[in-house]
Structures are given as structure tokens and as C-alpha cells.
Amino acid sequence: MSSCLLRWQKLGRVFQFNQLQNVVMNSKSTRFYATSSFREKKRFYKNVSITQSGKTFEINLDRRKLKTPNGQLFTVPSEPLAIAVATEWDNQTDIIRQHTMHLTSLCNTALDNPSLRNKQQVISGILHFLDTDTICYRLEDPPELVSLQQNEWDPQLDWINERYKVDVGSSTSITGPVIPEETKEILGHHLETHSDWALVGYENAIGCLKSLVLTFALMDRRLTVEEAVHLSLLETEFQIARWGSVEWAHDTEMADTKARVAAATLFTHLVTQSCVIKQKQPIQ
């Protein structure tokens, strides 16, 4: 077992992120976050290592420094994230399967900023999801689904309204609920306290879940990844339970979504929390 993987496992115990680690590292996902075009190639390196340069950390593939799709030097702001990314590269076999390397892709997005947006534009884009939040749109029929939505989704709305002192409601109208501007301002101020890197994690999780409310609950550790994904697909799972699903297709999509949401959550935590890994010193 490589030194990177050993350090990553120790770090996982420190942060109690074993669940996220397992979902991300064991994913059979076939979707790719990356900003560059998907292309598989043979593994060209033997060893993966990490070096520190000032306050940032770099990934080395043998003696080559990893770079982003746009040619920038691949540097990350925390050692825990560097270890996680190095583990992704170390886990590759004969073929480098970039579509399984969600953390690397998130870092590439943060570094290259392919959409060329500033922080305020990113926050505006995140808040825009609130107008079409999955758990704010309700159906009036059948009664079983209406009851399920109330029992499963209403507690999440109650939580965010109490936690952030906002007003997020639900509606059966095709236009959705009216979200007060004050609510958007409050949630926007909360997002402004996060770094540009953390916002990449938020935006990707929201894109997967189609819900700002569920993403906030996930990042606040109110929900697990499995719970958040389940709630985001509540209507789909209800229909599948009633009518059935295409064999294997639903399971593959579910595993893919869990892996991407877990990666976005882990990424956000690793760039938000500070952690220093100290090597044990021999007793003199």
C-alpha cells in the first residue's frame, strides 16, 4: 500500500469522513466532471508523491508535476486535499480513467475557472437554483406521493428556515414558490464567507441534487450523502416503486450521483477545515 494511501486513510479517521471516502474511491461512476474533454490513456508513471511549495501543495507523477487541462501547475490549498487527489492518481491501474477522479476534476475547475466567473457571479448562479429547488416543487396527485413529499421534504424546509432565519416555502404551481429577496440575501451572505474553492464544491453538489436546501443540509452535516440523494430522487423512486425500472440503469445512475455528491462534499470540507499532519518522531 502506498504512503499516500496510508496517509489518506489516517486522515479519514481524523475527519471522520470514511463514508465519503468509500463512496468516492469505490465509485463505478461513468460521468466526468472535468473541464477538459474525456480521454483515456495508459498510465505513464509509477509513483505519486506530494510536495509543499509555500502555502500550497503539488502532486508529482514520478518527476513530473501535475498540471491542469489549461496547462497551469496543479496546486491545492490544503495537505488533506493533496493527499486525496494523490490517492486518486495512485489508484489508477494500467489505464488512467479520468471519469473516476472526481476530486481531481473539482480542483481543475477551481484552478482553471473555465466559465471565467468571479465570486459574486458564482454565488448568483448558486442562488438561482433556489427558484427551481427540487423540494420546493410539489405535485397534487397521487395522494401517496403528496404525503411522502410532506413527510420527507417539509422537515428540510423547516430546518433551513430555522437554521438561517429565512423563508423558503413550497408550491404546487408550475411557477414554483416566491422566494423573498431577503432570503436570497441572507443565504448569499453565508456563501460569501466561503472561499472560491469551497463554492466549487457547493455548486457541484447543488447541480447533482438539484436542490440548494438539500446541499446546505448536507454541508452542515444534517444529512448524509445517501439521505440527500434519496431525498433529491424522491419522486423518481416513488414512480419506480410503482411501475418498476430498467434493470441496472437506475442503480448505475444512483451510484454515480452518490459518488459525485460525496466528492463535492468531501472537497468542500477539505478546503474549508484546517488540518496539519505531523509525522511521528522517534524517541531519543
Quick count: other Cβ atoms within 10 Å of Cβ 249?
Answer: 9
- Would you state the pLDDT for residue 250? 67
**Biggest alpha carbon distance in the chain?**
73
- Would you state the pLDDT for residue 229? 97
- Would you state the pLDDT for residue 63? 92
Residue 4 has pLDDT above 70, yes or no: no
- Per-residue pLDDT tens for 83-114? 999 999 999 999 999 989 999 999 999 999 99
**Mean pLDDT, range 212-238, rounded to an integer:** 96
Rg (CA), the chain: 20
**Mean pLDDT, range 65-76, rounded to an integer:** 97
Task: Give 1's pLDDT tier (boundaries 50, 70, 90).
Answer: very low
**Mean pLDDT, range 46-66, rounded to an integer:** 95
Mean residue pLDDT across the chain: 86
Q: Which residues contact 225 (CB under 8 A, 6 or more apart)?
A: 19, 20, 23, 218, 258, 261, 262, 265
**Mean pLDDT, range 36-42, rounded to an integer:** 65
The domains of the chain, with CATH numbers, are 3-112 (3.30.2180.10), 119-272 (1.10.3580.10)
- Per-residue pLDDT tens for 181-192? 999 999 999 999
Percentage of residues of the chain with pLDDT beyond 90? 70
Model's pTM, two decimal places?
A: 0.83
Residue 39 has pLDDT above 80, yes or no: no
**Mean pLDDT, range 29-33, rounded to an integer:** 35
Residue 151 has pLDDT above 60, yes or no: yes
